[in-house]
Amino acid sequence: MNRIWEAFKVIPLAAWLVVAVIWVGMAAVVLLEVVPGQHLSGGQDWAEMIVVGSFLPVFFSAHVLLVGYINADARRRGMRYVLWTLLALFVPFTVGVLIYFLMRDGLMRECPRCSTMVSGKFAFCAKCGNALTETCSNCRRAVEPGWSHCPGCGNGLRAG
């Protein structure tokens, strides 16, 4: 649950405000149009109309929150956040949202030597050259802890 809460904290205030406007607008339509008139066809109850009418605000609210999350998340990952926001907003059927989650970079991290923010996919700091992950002694490519051989050159890695 903590991870979900952290994801919600990434969503900017503007997205939450747009969602609030959507819900206030829906409540206004229901209270001003549906309830007082009660001229519903087919003998439908007004409570049933509220449930049916809440589908669109739920859909739009979820989409607005996803686009807001993508904007803030792409920014904190050092990606082109305007491009990704527009892609998520205008590509239909949430395909843009899916593409973002499949293609996003790792989180930015701080270099321990010079405190520069560096992309999560880099093995070395671009400013000072400090190694940010374990590297192969032969070809200097990033390797994972526990690997016995480098996938780039086949060099045997030291145990540890």
Q: Which helix (H) or strand (E) holds 83?
A: helix 81-90
Per-domain residue ranges for the chain?
2-105, 108-160
Q: What are phi and psi of 70, to 5 degrees?
A: -60, -40
> Which segment of 48-52, 53-57, 107-111, 138-142 scores lowest on mean pLDDT?
48-52
Q: Indicate the pLDDT class of residue 59, thresholds 50, 70 and 90.
A: confident
In this structure, which amino acid lies at residue 107?
L
Is the pTM for the entire model greater than 0.95? Answer: no
